[in-house]
Amino acid sequence: MKLRRIQEVAPATVDKSLSVLKAFFSWCEHQGIFNHNPIRKVKLFNANNERIRYLSDEEYERLLTEAEKIRCYLRPMIVLAVHTGLRRGNLLRLRWDHIDFVTNRIRLTDSTKNRRTLTVPLNDTAIEILETLKKKSGESQYVFPHFEGKLAGEAIQDVKNGWKTAVKRAGISNFRWHDLRHCFASWLVMKGVDLPVVQELLGHRNIRMTLRYAHLSPHYLSEQIKVLDKTFPENCPSDASTSGKRDQLETSE
């Protein structure tokens, strides 16, 4: 199964399937259904999922232009993705009761990947987009509903076809929807936002995931290494003190 699946999907997807099977057979083993786990020695690919792909300003503008031509909701959904860092599933399921226009926050409870409450502050761009969508959504509880047909008012379930068309027409290669989340994080880091803040905004459980973006900061690594100057000041004598010691040696000679 592992070798067959790798011909069809990415290594990370195969690993997810294998992980499910491992968990299932482990449960069977604990239940005493059998005494041997046939998948225990099957190794995962452990694919590198630390890929970071973000758009240039020009690519972003081209993508928005093409998205607007395809679906009326596609452009605002893309803009919200890069200004909030929310995943596609969260955006598709986003309801108006998740949004507080008084405090300008989106609050998602138990609907994130980590099953944790995520609070996302809204900037002016996101607020403007949401206010426009609110006028169009009518009585629907969803931010992105179908506007007509038998599903009118219900949440849009997928944007895969429209997304692929927009990316292709914009001449952008090697770019997935999830990479919009990388745009959000990368652009913040390159603007000088601290990594712990980015971690909080992304909803990462630990800083390790967020550290993937550290190399994009123009000052981060340089600032971090300076802590040694403060820790061991005696190892960094000033020019004046060095000159004084040299004068003393010359005098004694």
Residue-range domain boundaries for the chain: 1-49, 57-216
For residues 83 and 91, the answer to whether their CB atoms sit within 8 Å is no
Q: What mean pLDDT do residues 174-200 have?
A: 93
What is the predicted pLDDT for the residue at 110?
63
Arch. (CATH architecture) of 57-216: Orthogonal Bundle (1.10)
pLDDT in tens, 85-126: 999 999 999 999 999 999 999 999 865 565 678 899 999 999
Question: Minimum mean pLDDT among 54-63, 171-180, 210-219: which range?
Answer: 210-219
Give the whole-number percent of the chain exceeding pLDDT 90. 48
Question: Minimum mean pLDDT among 15-19, 58-62, 110-114, 120-124: which range?
Answer: 110-114
Give the integer Cα–Cα distance in Å for 205 and 125: 27
pLDDT in tens, 122-142: 999 999 999 999 998 888 999
Please give the C-alpha separations between residue 54 and each of 51, 75, 170, 176, 180, in angstroms, as whole numbers: 10, 17, 15, 10, 7
Instruction: Please state the length of the chain.
Output: 253
- Residue 148's Cβ-count burial label (10 Å; 0-12, 13-18, 19+) is exposed
Give the integer Cα–Cα distance in Å for 44 and 127: 43
Q: For residue 248, what are its two tokens?
A: 């003393």
Q: For residue 47, what are its two tokens?
A: 């694919």
Q: For residue 143, what are its two tokens?
A: 């931010």
β-bridge pairing 118-121 and 99-100:
unpaired
Extract long-range pairs of 184-190: CB within 8 Å, 24+ residues apart: 184/81, 184/82, 184/83, 184/84, 184/85, 185/85, 185/210, 185/213, 186/52, 186/54, 186/213, 186/216, 187/54, 187/82, 189/213, 189/214, 189/216, 189/217, 189/220, 190/216, 190/217, 190/218
Q: For residue 139, what are its two tokens?
A: 């009585």
Confidence of residue 249 (pLDDT cuts 50, 70, 90): very low
